[in-house]
């Protein structure tokens, strides 16, 4: 975000003493090398420094470790996200909240319920990241420039719940099915679904660059009112046959957050997969009530 000069000022906050301050100092020392003028501030647990924020990105929580699912983080991260949301709203009651914390669909649902904010002002980043990974794997399979490939992932932000829409993926406007056989497309979809787990296994913790880039791009669309379409973890109120659920779907993102959820046509197989994904997301979200988080 700093390099793209998405916002005039960015504040990093962390509970670990000195971490945010150190990250900011390191970033600031690249300003003359990367040619950006963004004002950067790092603080330890001082929410007052975040006052009057337009957008707040919540990444707080325990990161995944190798072999751990996003769902296994729910007990710990629910408490953390509730605390963060409460403190944010004390100083930035008009902010748009963008969730990154896992399990994302559940944490986004929790953040909206705890904050009481309109659903359009609380949403999750997952689909933007998953779609970028999908395009990456498609480009690798086709040996072409990834910027010439278009593709979208909907459904839950989980290794078994996301739905790469291979039927709608294209290369320069041409369906990718004209370049890749069914077996290859199935492998691309499978690789996309475990894209995060693959990186966690290699790195020993959650990914960094792609999630950060996805966040930056979504925030840019909000701040500049670009009204770009991103697959995002959004609140559904009847779309795709679902109500009162946060799950991945294409949405127009602008100055008001989620300005419109787009209901696109799906194949019968994709409809069934979305219904199954929604059922799994609801089951995970129900844990919030079981542990007393809601």
Residue 291 banded pLDDT, cuts 50, 70, 90: confident
Secondary structure (DSSP) of 214-240? HHHHHHHHHHTT--EEEEEEEEEESGG
Query: Span 98-116, mean pLDDT?
Result: 96
Using only the alpha carbons of the chain, give its radius of gyration. Answer: 19
Pairing of strands 243-254, 228-237: antiparallel
CA distance 277 to 271: 10
pLDDT at 72: 74
Structural tokens at position 180:
């890749």
pLDDT in tens, 195-247: 998 998 999 888 899 999 999 999 999 999 999 999 999 999 999 999 999 99
pLDDT in tens, 116-148: 999 999 999 999 999 999 999 999 999 999 999
pLDDT at 68: 66
Question: Does residue 235 carry a catalytic annotation?
Answer: no
Say if residue 170's pLDDT is above 80: yes
Q: Residue 122 pairs with which residues in a beta bridge?
A: 97
| Residue of 64, 70, 157, 235 marked active site | 157
Say if residue 293's pLDDT is above 70: yes
Do residues 76 and 62 make contact, with C-beta atoms less than 8 angstroms apart? yes
Do residues 103 and 76 make contact, with C-beta atoms less than 8 angstroms apart? no
Residue 64 banded pLDDT, cuts 50, 70, 90: low
Average of per-residue pLDDT values in the chain: 95
pLDDT at 238: 97
Residue 290 banded pLDDT, cuts 50, 70, 90: confident
pLDDT in tens, 258-278: 999 999 999 999 999 999 999
- Top pLDDT among 247 and 76 is at 247
Residue 62 banded pLDDT, cuts 50, 70, 90: confident
In this prediction the pTM is 0.94
Say if residue 63's pLDDT is above 80: no
């Amino acid at each position: 975000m700093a390099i793209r000069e998405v916002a005039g000022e960015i504040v990093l906050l962390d509970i670990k003493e000195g971490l945010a301050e150190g990250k900011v100092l390191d970033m600031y020392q690249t300003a003359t090398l990367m040619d950006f003028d963004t004002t950067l501030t790092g603080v330890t647990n001082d929410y007052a420094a975040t006052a009057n924020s337009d957008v707040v990105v919540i990444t707080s929580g325990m990161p995944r470790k190798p072999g751990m699912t996003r769902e296994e983080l729910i007990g710990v991260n629910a408490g953390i996200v509730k605390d963060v949301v409460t403190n944010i709203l004390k100083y930035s009651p008009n902010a748009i909240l963008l969730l990154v914390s896992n399990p994302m669909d559940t944490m986004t649902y929790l953040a909206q319920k705890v904050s009481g904010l309109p659903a359009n002002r609380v949403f999750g980043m997952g689909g933007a990241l998953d779609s970028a990974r999908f395009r990456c794997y498609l480009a690798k399979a086709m040996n072409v420039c990834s910027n010439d490939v278009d593709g979208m992932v909907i459904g839950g932000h989980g290794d078994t719940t996301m739905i790469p829409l291979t039927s709608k993926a294209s290369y320069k406007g041409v369906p990718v099915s004209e370049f890749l056989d069914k077996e290859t497309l199935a492998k691309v979809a499978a690789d996309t679904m475990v894209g995060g787990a693959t990186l966690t296994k290699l790195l020993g913790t959650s990914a960094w660059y792609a999630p950060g880039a996805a966040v930056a791009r979504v925030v840019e669309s909000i701040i500049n009112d670009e009204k770009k379409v991103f697959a995002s973890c959004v609140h559904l109120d009847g779309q795709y046959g679902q109500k009162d659920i946060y799950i991945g779907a294409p949405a127009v993102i602008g100055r008001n957050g989620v300005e419109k959820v787009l209901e696109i046509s799906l194949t019968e197989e994709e409809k069934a997969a979305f219904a199954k994904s929604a059922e799994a997301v609801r089951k995970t979200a129900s844990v919030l009530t079981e542990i007393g988080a809601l």
